[in-house]
Chain A
Amino acid sequence: MKFKYTHSAAAVLLAIGLASPAMADEEAELVINDEIEIVTKTTAPAHLDGHLDEILSGWRFRSDDTQAMQMDDFDNPAMLGAEAGMELFETAWGSEGKSCADCHTDLESLSHVRPTYPKWNEGAGEVRTMQMQINDCLTGRMGAEAEKYDSNNMLNLEAALSSVARGLPVNVAIDGPAAETWEKGKEIYYTRFGQLELSCANCHEQNYGNMIRADHLSQGQINGFPAYRLKNAKLNGVQGRFKGCVRDTRAETFSPGSPEFIALELYVASRGNGLSIEGPSVRN
């Protein structure tokens, strides 16, 4: 079914007489706007030795229709958020009368940001997510109020930053000063939470590809965030998604922006080192 969208693939299909590409889902390749090639399947990074051989983007686990929505920016509703973010980028906020663009010129100059965050910040002595770094600019340089974690403005800015990084490989640093936070994130990933006593790994490492009720379990990769979820018709942040998952184990959740989720975001991002950034993506 996927083959409908690329003429060459359809031609090959006819030529070799394959009639039913029904389960093509997990073998399809993602090319956005016929130009940006996205790596959705690659060899797992070294630190996953003994856990995973291959890492897969969540895109591969979605239905044909959902996959197709992400192949063209016009069809991708998440791009509405990215466009709003691009406008925000040019808009002056706060008492200093400065916009993001006054210092950073254009979004393309920030294309390295999305693939490398969360990242150790030497001055602050902490691992920072993109949202923390944006807030630092807002309050420190622009004289604006800090945005709440996962606010609409934040997610729109994240989507804009992500859209210019599409196709670049995720490459978060896990050594050096970030190592301590990374270890903490790893511990959370493998800790069972809630009344159902489920760890992240129970579903996303041991059972990806299986069905959890009506949903196709992915590896829980976050290279596609922020993600437009069809279930709530808006952009969703990584940590908000973590919260949803932890809640589903019937546990008291951590909050988006908490040290636990920051550590977990770094660790989960590192599990996707090598996949392309494909956010803002479309998911269930």
Chain B
Amino acid sequence: MASGVKPRVKVPKSAAAGDVITIKTLISHPMESGQRKDGDGNIIPRSIINRFTCEFNGELVIDVTLEAAISTNPYFEFESMVPEAGDFKFTWYDDDGSVYEETKAIAIG
């Protein structure tokens, strides 16, 4: 069970219809790879975010599979076209079954 997990998202508050905006996301997470051993030589079990998605008004913008080699606090920056006002919904899926969600509204104007 990863502790101290906190998602963060940066989306502009408004855009012109049809604009391409830049979205930045970061989730604080240790991303334990499952390759390391503790002081007693036992393998520390893998615990990573394994999938990240972003949807806009229910339509998929990006869907990412994350693997164990991705480092601590995974950061994504990507672009999205904004055809209309609505909500960006971000979802991170943890190995331990936890799902972290964040929603940001964007207005047209």
Contacts and interface: CB of A to CB of B under 8 A. Distances in A.
Contact of A74 (B26, B28, B71): B26
Interface string B17-45: 00000001010100000000000000000
A233 B26 contact: no
B3 to A, nearest CB: 11
Which of the listed residues A74, A75, A233 has the most CB atoms from chain B within 10 Å of its own CB?
Answer: A74
Contacts of B73: 77, 80, 233
A219 B60 CA distance: 48
Contacts of A234: 72
B104 interface: no
A84 B26 contact: no
Interface in B47-78: 71-73, 75
B24 A74 contact: yes
Contacts of A74: 8, 10, 24, 26
B97 interface: no
B4 interface: yes
Dominant secondary structure at the A interface: loop
A63 B96 CA distance: 37
B71 A80 contact: no
Nearest to B72: A233
Contacts of B4: 84
Nearest to B24: A74
A80 B28 contact: yes
A85 to B, nearest CB: 13
A234 B4 CA distance: 14
Contacts of A233: 71-73
A82 to B, nearest CB: 12
Contacts of B26: 74, 77, 80
Contacts of B10: 74
Contacts of A77: 26, 73, 75
Interface in A64-91: 74-75, 77, 80, 84
Interface of A: 74-75, 77, 80, 84, 233-234
17 contacts: A74-B8, A74-B10, A74-B24, A74-B26, A75-B24, A75-B75, A77-B26, A77-B73, A77-B75, A80-B26, A80-B28, A80-B73, A84-B4, A233-B71, A233-B72, A233-B73, A234-B72
